[in-house]
Amino acid sequence: MEKKKDVTRRDFLKVAATVGAASSLTSVVAPHIMTAQTVGNPTRYGFIGTGTEGCTLLKFLATIPEGRCIATCDIYPPNLKKGVDTIGSNPETYTEYRKMLERKDMDAVFIATPLNLHTEMVVDGLNAGKHVFVEKTMYFKEDEGDIIRKAMDDHPKQIVQVGLQRRSSVLYQVAMEMIRKGALGKIMTVRAQWDRNSNWRRPVPDPKFERLLNWRMYKEYSGGMMAELASHQIDVANWAIGAEPKSVIATGGIDYWKDGREVCDNVHAVYEYPGGQKLIWSGVMSNAHFEFSEQIMGDQGTLIITLGKGMYYREPMAKVSSGNSKENWWAGATVNNQAAAAGIPIFPETGAMNELGFMDREMRYAKHWLASMGIYNYEEPHDPWWTELHNFLMSIREGKPIAAPYALGKADAQGVIYGNRAIETGERVYWPGQEPQDATKKAKKIA
């Protein structure tokens, strides 16, 4: 607590200025003032897979007047009912998604089904003339990326958005803007983890539903922890580093939950990027102490972010003078080493600092100070889930840039697939075209 008091006003203003500039780049923080009554002709959509994530999305969609759910589809009757109850728009219900897609009065489809079904549903949705929102991970097997790409090329006017909601988080956008402005200097390492202390299982009312409800446990449908958890953080690392990995080594096992599952419960992977940067990812299912976060580590500072919270820590002055980064973000800042280590909360707030009047600047400074003391918590203007869904509808309606387009989804899916391959083979797996020339090295060729 003592240390925090040493963070100077100048520190706060500098972070706030960066944050303000970042926030002003995005329109997602604009107040959402339309109501169901004021939106004419909402985009009509159907929803496939109204399970856990499906109902999370439907809960947010129910508050977005630019869209209207006219149909839902699920093969598990209790979840079908849950979806209808959640959206509350009296949608027509289906158990065969292709039948639902035949509807001509439907513009878009949302897909939140088990991973093995994503590609065929995306392709069928595009072929039926719909815009498609598909949950992460975008696809399951390596060749499916090209299958989706081809269907998109066949239907160039239709949008595909992937459910990587961190891309729609103002907090993450602010963090990335700080990185681009040099606040972290040269980034060489991202550490990320997603830990739990639970078995990930769902209760099954009848054994015949075991594989349907617990699909995550079985390799026929699931990419395990890499697909379900690491996928979010591989995307964050790609975003922070500004590249895709070139290789991965990994290990994993079914080490704790020996309950018939086929996917690992204890995974550790190291991704290497073209500039030598590393993403170290781990996920364990027998300890939840560290939960989930990303630590983005540069030679001038560190960002520790989770969905909803972010802290910036500056490296000691000695390191700053190394001049490694393009821009010395801290040049001229009157801070001491103690202040540097204390940490500064980052948060989303609208408006660039230099556009604010004296009182507003003072107010923002006070908020940062209170946040640094743990007295005040910042919140996103909207939940990133809401924002990604709103963004998708506004991309359809007004051509707004797609929050998480195909290219990001593909980079993410490759990270998942190659990570799992590294676990299974015990060998370093290279991205296509990244295999070392040195024939003495054991390169795992990717067909």
Footprint of ligand NAD (CB under 6 A): 48-54, 73-76, 79, 97, 112-115, 117, 135-136, 163, 165, 212, 215, 228
Alpha helices in 182-328 (DSSP H): 210-213, 224-225, 231-241, 317-320
Structure tokens at 141: 């097997």
Nearer to ligand NAD, 236 or 344 (CB): 236
CB of 73 to ligand NAD, least distance (A): 5
CB of 79 to ligand NAD, least distance (A): 3
**Phi and psi, residue 417, nearest 5°:** -65, -45
Nearer to ligand NAD, 13 or 117 (CB): 117
CB of 358 to ligand NAD, least distance (A): 41
CB of 315 to ligand NAD, least distance (A): 32
Nearer to ligand NAD, 60 or 273 (CB): 60
- CA end-to-end span of the chain: 54
CB of 381 to ligand NAD, least distance (A): 19
Taking a C-beta distance cutoff of 8 angstroms, is the pair 111, 134 a contact? yes
DSSP 8-state symbol, 42: P
Nearer to ligand NAD, 95 or 337 (CB): 95
CA dist., res. 273 & res. 242, Å (int): 10
Nearer to ligand NAD, 112 or 402 (CB): 112
**Phi and psi, residue 230, nearest 5°:** -60, -30
CB of 291 to ligand NAD, least distance (A): 14
9-25 vs 358-372: helix axis angle to the nearest 10? 110
CB of 430 to ligand NAD, least distance (A): 26
Nearer to ligand NAD, 349 or 388 (CB): 388
In DSSP terms, which residues pair with 292 in a beta bridge?
194
Taking a C-beta distance cutoff of 8 angstroms, is the pair 19, 175 a contact? no
Structure tokens at 393: 């509808």
CB of 53 to ligand NAD, least distance (A): 3
CA dist., res. 250 & res. 426, Å (int): 7
Give which of 34, 32, 27 is closest to 350, Cα–Cα: 27
H or E element that contains 296 = strand 292-298
| Residue least distant from ligand NAD (Cβ) | 51
Taking a C-beta distance cutoff of 8 angstroms, is the pair 246, 434 a contact? yes
Nearer to ligand NAD, 169 or 325 (CB): 169
CB of 356 to ligand NAD, least distance (A): 34
Residue 227, Cα to own-chain centre: how many angstroms? 12
In DSSP terms, which residues pair with 48 in a beta bridge?
73, 111
Nearer to ligand NAD, 48 or 279 (CB): 48
| SS3 readout for 51-96 | CHHHHHHHHHHCCCCCEEEEEEECCCHHHHHHHHHHHCCCCEEECC
Nearer to ligand NAD, 48 or 132 (CB): 48
